[in-house]
Structures are given as structure tokens and as C-alpha cells.
A and B are shown apart, each in its own frame.
Chain A
Amino acid sequence: MTTADPALPRPRPLATGGLAVVRRNPLLVVLVAMVLIFQLTTGSFLDPANLSGIATDAATLAIVAVPLALLVISGYLDLSVGSTLALGGLVGGWLAGQHHQSPAVALLGALAAGALVGAVNGVLCCWFGLSAFIVTLGMLTAVRGLAQQLFPLPLSGFGSGFAWIGGARVAGIAAPVVIAALVLAAGALFLAFTPAGRHVFAIGVNREAAHLSGIHIRRTPFALFVATGVAAALAGAIKASVLDSAVAGTSGAGFELTVLTAVLLGGVALTGGTGSILGVLLGVLFLGGLQNGLTLLNVPTFWQQMAQGVALVAGAALACFAPRTGR
């Protein structure tokens, strides 16, 4: 009988480069399969116009998913983003439409509102040690209520300046897509190349050990709460700009769950400590593509919602039962 020497780890499979990426992100395979199926059944899924539509839809999702993923990796959670999105759109639209402010000022106002919500979440969770689930669930309701109190009537007619936020094109690409790409790149670079990126993982894996290593275990997650709030408000401003309308009762309703689904599908563990921005991108593209493809196939909305839910649970089941490889 031989016992394994603990000093010698099990040999790793000889997968490198591209193959390793696929192994770490099984969603990639699912995504490719989904694209093929939709292309074969609809015939128009891969048309440039449709792809650009998907990208625009997925952009707001990605903008919020990136900071939210970082927050989840550090062991926290934010469920309030749907309401923050609504508040951001309303504040931005109100500044531009009622007060005729420049789009820059309107946007800054919206982002400030988001930062405020994020800061409240952050203080309660990081300094007072309250459960992020409870705090942000409460904020989801409270912020929605606040938005309805402040803006009881639907807003619209924000003017051409504000429309520019969501409608401008940079080198032929829609502004929201460009912003999303920047956010994704910033998130990936942050995780890989900054000390704080290491700290985010460390806090998520073992908060006490991180504390004893001299890391600021409150400051970093607090900053991520604020970033998530700002991102949600930015997404709200973009949506309001594209639609030229913002409604306190319905804007961004359910958005928090869609974003969280994308993040979790992307392989970010709800328990913290694992995840990647590439995974988040795949999660966002998968959800955006799924919704778009099913719409092209004239599948009713409730079936689409069911598909989204089944995908999440199936993803969790696969992650749970698949043999553990790599890290």
C-alpha cells in the first residue's frame, strides 16, 4: 500500500494556454454551442445588426456585473443595484430634463446618488459588520421607495444632450459598449495587476487571516460597495438616456437578480474568494445572447425567464458535480 506524499501535489493535467482557459471556464463551450444553435435556428443571430443589439443590451449588465463580481469575490454581496439603477436614471434625467443641466452635470449627479447608496451599504456592512444580504435587501426596497417619493411621476424628454450618453458612437461602436469594455478591462487589470486586487481575493478567502496580515479588510470592500453603486447609477443613466424615460416604480426592477445571475454563471463563488472577469464577461454574453436568441425565436417572456433560471441552477449543479480540476 502506498500513501501519497503530501509534499508532492497531484500532477496537473497537461493543459496549457487556450485549453486551460476552456477548462477553467466551461461556460465558454456552452456559449459557443448556444450561438451555433441560435444561428442555425434563426438564421439571423450572427447578423452584425443583431450582434450590436446584443452588445448594447449586455453593456449595462456588464458595467454593473464587474464591480459586483469584485464585491462578491471579497465575500460581500449587493442586492440593491436594481433600485440604485432606477435612482441613477431618475436623478440624471431630472437634472437634464427639468433643470436643463449639461449631460456632464446630469451624469455626475446620477453617479453621486449611486455613490451615496453604495457608501451607506458599505458603512453598514464593512464597519458595523451587518450581513450584506440583509442590508442590501433592505436598501433594495428602501431606495425604490425613496425614488418613488422623490419622483412620483414618470420622467421623459431629457433633451438631445442627455440622449448622447447612450446614443453616441465611438468609432462606430455604441458608447455603452465602449464604456462596458473599459469597465471590463479595468476590472481585469485591477484584479491581476494591483496589490488591492490580491487583497480582494485574500479578504474573500479568509478575512481573519487577511486582517492578521495587515490588510485593510474594511476599506477595500467599502470602496467596492461604492463602485457598485456608482456603476448601477451609470447603467441607470445610460438606460434613461437610450429610452428617454425613467420610471421610479419599474426602471431596473429585477435587474439585481439578472446581474447576480450573470456573475454567478461566470464562475464567481457566492462564498467569496474565487472568480475572474473573463468569467463575468462570458456570463453577461450568455445571458444577453440567450435573451436575444429566444426573442428572435418568438419565445414568450415567461419561457425566457424560465430558461435564465434553469441555466443558473444547471450551472451550479455542473460546478458541484464536475470533477475538480486545476485550482
Chain B
Amino acid sequence: MTTTTLRISGLTKSFGGVRALDGVDLTVPAGQVHALLGHNGAGKSTLIKCLGGAYPPDAGTIEVGGTSYTRLTPRASIASGVAIIFQTLSVVDALTVAENIFLGQEWTRHGRIDRRAQEEVAAGLMERVAAKCSPRDRVGDLPMGQRQLVEIAKALSRSAAVLVLDEPTAALSGAETDALAQRVEDLRTQGLAIVYVTHLLGEVERLADAVTVLRDGRVAHHATVSGRTRRELVEAIAGRPTEVVPKSPRPPAPPRLIAEDLRGPGFGPVGLSVAEGERVGLFGLIGSGRTRILETLYGRRRATAGTIRVGDRTVAPARPADALAAGIALVPADRRAQGLFPSMTAQDNALLPSVKPLSRLGVRALRSERRVFDGLATAVGLRPARSRLPAGAFSGGNQQKLVLGRWINEARHVDVLLLDEPTQGVDVGARQEIYRVVSTLAEERGTAVLFASSDPEEVVALADRCLIVARGRIVGELSGTELTEQALLSAVHAPLTAEGAA
């Protein structure tokens, strides 16, 4: 089989001036498993969404089975033979396996759904993907791995030739992961072209024939996998050979934030300490517990055990307001859902927690507010520095500066700054500015900075020291010259492969 089943060339897509995809080429012949790697925001999701017809590309073509498209609609994508299995599955829990497989393409007899025929065909498909469930099982009752197989069976029922799996093992148990790997190998043998999106190098080594790495919307690396060492793969993702930026050793400082034996749903026990003026990274994959740790420190989640101290004071934040009173502030990861007030002005956004402390006798101090806003706009490099523009009109990077500015202004006193994915959806230029602002804060005001990130480049750029998080625990620590992208990637993948081999 030498017919190319999927050929993407020159695919380009911008969102409001930010190039999410910039001339991406990707060729996946039938019978190949092609791993797609890259950091968050590298363009993987955008590529998949263009392929699925959710986004129209600005330029470039997508060729499936000999037909070339400049843009696809979701229907055209399915009709051309593309099937995408997203992380969040699109099966309907309330329906049976067979009903799910035939959803939208029901077989009818005399105007009624022909259940028996559907179930027979479904049984055949379930056998093909080696699923253990019956066509009559309700999908909501099935474990995650089986639900995923139902979705793959649904794709096969629509005679899919190109199968895209978006981090398919993220929600699976160890045994289910092995089973899925077996299915992927079967489907390759059956001649499907498979795009396999993952963060896990173990899976790449086991399954992939070729690998493409995206960085900042471009193909940063493309290679066949066979015979490569993990080190070479890591370097391919990191993009360049080990580049050691010597960090000046920090003079010892008293600890500002201390968490001991901290536990909560999905993580723990965790012990960590951040010194005055220190920038500590929490590096781990999605679902490793990074966000939970930060949210617990900030009082958005309740700790089930453990102590948190800021300086000498023990705090048990039950809500963010408590954490703020103790000098802990958080910049959340999901800006749209947790950070921004799009229809409110830039000034209202940046000063929301400061309006009350600035007010006198319950009346807003409008002049002080303006002065504080102007100060913080300069400090974070807000562009345009217009106080009355709605926050929704700013670029992602400048929106993030507004959220960050909430805690970096003269009306607030923050001892401990927590940041979750501080530059998610932020363009490269603004990213550097945010690093500069955070670093300045640590150096000049002695703020203890603790940030979570899944981007090794960011950790190396921003952290003095990095804690490796996996399965809700801290499994390692890197600092000084050991703190490199390669070391981070190896560290985070080590425990997973060890478990996979066991």
C-alpha cells in the first residue's frame, strides 16, 4: 500500500494576528502511525480542527485519498474519510453502543430503526476493535477505554481512512492504555493512516513510525522514529541541543511559602517551600495535579490534610479571599473562564480587587484608581494602554497582563504569587514581557513565585528551581545547570515508562 491517504501542505491559520499554524506540511501514508508532538499552543489542536472542518484554514491544502480541499466543513471532513477521536469523547452516554455507532446514519426498515441489523453490524465492528462490550450496553455504563473503542468503531462504520487520536491515553488506566496500543497496531495493519497526538514519548517509541514536532505553529522537526533514542526525540521536541543558561546562584533567603504534607482530592502528600524572591516551577503533564496544588494553596479547593504557611503565619484558606488576606494571589490558567471580564473595561479588570482597598468611606477613589491603573499599565507593558477599552478587545497576551496586573499594583500587597500556565495562549512577544514582569517582581519586591507549566521552555526561562509533578506528587527536583528542557522532559516521562514496563 503506497497510496498517500493524508497529505497536508502549507496549512496556515491565524487568530487575530497570531499565527497558530504557519505553513505546516504533514504526510501520512496509509498504514502509518504518525506521532504529532509539541508543547501546548504549538498548533496541534488548530491542525486537528482544520482537518475536522471546525476551522477554515487561511491558506494551504488538505488532501485525503487523492481529493484536495482548501477548506473542509465537518460534514465534508467525515465524508472524505477523516475521523477524529477527541480527548473529550463525543459519544452519547444515554444511548446504547449500537445506537451511538449509527447515530445520524440510522438504518431503517419501513420507516423504523432496524435495531437488529444495527446491532449485528455493531457487533462485527466491536469485534474488529476487540471491544469487550455488547452492542446493547448503555455507553454511560462502560469504562472510559471501552467508550473510546465505541467511538473508534463509529469512525470505522463511516469507512474512515484517516484516524486522528488526540491524546487518547490521557484518561485511560494502565491496562486500557496497553489495550489501546494493541488496537492502534491492528488498525495500522488494516491500512488506516493514523495521526497520533501525544505528550508521552513512551507511546511514540512503541507505536509511531514517523514523528512530526510542531513549535509556534511550524514544523520544527520531522523524522522517522525507528532507531532513535529518547534523547534524540527529546532534543527534537525541545528544538535545539542542550543550551545551558547559567543561572546566577541565589543567595539563601528565608522561606516565604511553605506547604507540608498537603493533600487533597487527586494529589498529595506534597511538601514544598518557596523562598523570598525565588521563582519555582511546577512541571508536569496535564492531569498531574499541578493545578490542584495551586488551587488548594489559593483556597479554591479545600485541603484534606497538611499545613500552609506564609512566613511564620499558618493559613488555612477556605476561599480565595482568605488566601488573598494572607498575601497569596493566583493567576489562573483558563483566562476566559477564570480570569477575564471581557465586557468590562481594562481598568475594571485590572483593579477589581483593588477598588475596595483604595476606596474611602465606601466611595470609590476614582483619581487614585486611574493613577494605580496607569502605573500598572506601564509596569506590565499593556498595549494599548487604554483604561476604558473593554478587556475582550485586547490580544491574549495583553489580557493576561491585565489579569497579572490585578496583583501587581500598588494597591495590593502580594507575598506569594501563584501562576498557572502563565503564558497559555499568549504570543511570543508578550510571553517575554510577562517573564520579565514576574522576574522583576521576585527580584525587587522579594515576592515568592510558584508557577505551574507544561512547557519546558517556559520553566527553563522563568524558574530558579523546578519541582517535577506526576500523579499528584512531587517526584523530582531540578535546579541550576541541571535545569534544562531535556532534563525536564526525561524526568516527566521517566515514571510513566517505568510503570508501563512493570
What is A's interface to B at a CB cutoff of 8 Å? 3-10, 193-195, 197-199, 201-202, 205-206, 208-216, 273-274, 327
Contact = CB atoms under 8 A, between A and B. Distances in A.
B342 A205 contact: yes
B364 interface: yes
Given A3-B17, A6-B18, A202-B352, A209 B398 contact: no
Contacts of B319: 211
Contact of B16 (A6, A201, A214): A6
A206 B391 CA distance: 13
Nearest to A206: B341
A130 to B, nearest CB: 20
Contact of A198 (B337, B352, B398): B352
Given A7-B383, A9-B384, A214 B343 contact: no
B421 to A, nearest CB: 14
B362 A214 contact: no
Interface of B: 14, 16-18, 298, 300, 319-321, 323-324, 330, 332, 337-345, 348, 352-353, 355-356, 359, 362-364, 366, 383-384, 386, 389-390, 393-396, 398, 406
A198 B355 contact: yes
**Pairs of residues from A and B, 3 with the lowest C-beta to C-beta distance, nearest first:** A6-B395, A195-B356, A6-B16
A214 B395 contact: no
A195 B366 CA distance: 10
Given A7-B395, A9-B384, A206-B341, A212 B363 contact: no
Nearest to B14: A3
23 contacts: A7-B383, A7-B394, A7-B395, A9-B384, A9-B393, A9-B394, A193-B366, A198-B348, A198-B364, A205-B341, A205-B344, A206-B337, A206-B342, A208-B337, A211-B319, A211-B320, A212-B298, A213-B353, A213-B406, A214-B323, A214-B353, A215-B352, A215-B353
Contacts of B352: 198-199, 202, 210, 213, 215
Contacts of B340: 206, 209
Contacts of B406: 213
Query: Most chain-B Cβ atoms within 10 A of its Cβ — which of A8, A202, A213?
Result: A213
A195 B398 contact: no
Contacts of A3: 14, 16-17
Contacts of B366: 193
Contacts of A194: 359, 362-364
A193 B348 contact: no
A188 to B, nearest CB: 14
Contacts of A327: 343, 345, 390
Given A9-B389, A209-B341, 4 more contacts: A202-B352, A212-B330, A214-B353, A215-B353
Contacts of B345: 327
B339 A212 contact: yes
B343 A205 contact: yes
Contacts of B386: 9
Nearest to B355: A195
A201 B320 contact: no
Given A194-B359, A213-B406, A216-B321, A4 B341 contact: no
A202 B364 CA distance: 16
Contacts of B332: 209, 212
Nearest to B395: A6
Contacts of A4: 16-17
A9 B355 CA distance: 26
A10 to B, nearest CB: 8
Nearest to A273: B343
A14 to B, nearest CB: 15
Contacts of B344: 201-202, 205, 273
A193 B362 CA distance: 9
B17 A212 contact: no
B291 to A, nearest CB: 12
A275 B323 CA distance: 32
Contacts of A198: 348, 352, 355, 364
Contact of B341 (A197, A202, A211, A214): A202
A193 B353 contact: no
A49 to B, nearest CB: 40
A181 to B, nearest CB: 21
Contacts of A205: 341-344
A284 B300 CA distance: 41
Contacts of A274: 343
A242 B130 CA distance: 79
Nearest to B358: A195
A299 to B, nearest CB: 39
Contacts of A209: 332, 337-341
Nearest to B398: A7
Contacts of B359: 194-195
A46 to B, nearest CB: 38
Contacts of A193: 363-364, 366
A194 B363 CA distance: 5
A212 B364 CA distance: 21
A5 B395 CA distance: 9
A212 B355 contact: no
A7 B320 contact: no
A7 B433 CA distance: 15
A258 B321 CA distance: 38
A209 B359 CA distance: 21
A4 B323 CA distance: 40
Contacts of B362: 194-195
Given A194-B364, A208-B337, A201 B330 contact: no
A4 B395 CA distance: 11
A208 B330 CA distance: 13
Nearest to A203: B341
A202 B17 contact: no
Contact of A202 (B14, B298, B348, B363): B348
A8 B394 contact: no
A151 to B, nearest CB: 39
Nearest to B345: A327
A198 B347 CA distance: 11
Nearest to B329: A214
Contacts of B14: 3
Contact of B364 (A6, A7, A195): A195
A279 to B, nearest CB: 15
Nearest to B366: A193
A327 B342 CA distance: 10
A206 B392 CA distance: 13
Nearest to B15: A6
A273 B320 CA distance: 22
Contacts of A208: 337-338
Nearest to A8: B384
Contacts of B355: 195, 198
A127 to B, nearest CB: 13
Contacts of A197: 364
Query: Most chain-A Cβ atoms within 10 A of its Cβ — which of B330, B341, B345?
Result: B341
